[in-house]
A = this chain, B = another copy of it.
């Protein structure tokens, strides 16, 4: 259990962390907001998937994911193919244009981070990633796993305090 004096500081860091995200978003093309970029990134990384799965990875409501997907689909970056196994569902897949767009996004991201993280060691970045990932996990946000070792978090979290697990 962490000391209480750390709680306020962590909350403060989270509060001001948005500035980092906004700086990242500033380098995006004008027709590709952060939401769409996230959709493309996840599709390239994890391959074709359904809406519900994408929403889970994005850590947002499916209605939000649907909106981002519609934006990307309108621009021809992704396609929503019918799912032969379930006619209610749709399979999302990157188009050739989508892959091109992703290439562009990757270049922009790399260029920005190469500047911002110029005095970070590889190990330091790795540590930050690991801790951020674990925090998301502790908050029940890590529905997927970049690796196979997914640890369910609801169990140990609810041990300390009887908490309402997002009751509807």
Binding site for B on A (CB under 8 A): 1-21, 23-24, 26, 34, 37-38, 41-42, 45, 57-60, 106, 109-111, 113-122, 124-129, 131-133, 135-136, 138-143, 146, 153, 156-161, 163-164, 166
Contacts and interface: CB of A to CB of B under 8 A. Distances in A.
B135 A131 contact: no
- Tally of this chain's copies: 2
Contacts of A7: 109-110, 113-114, 117
Name the prevailing secondary structure of the A interface residues: helix
A136 B14 contact: no
Contacts of A42: 12
A160 B2 CA distance: 15
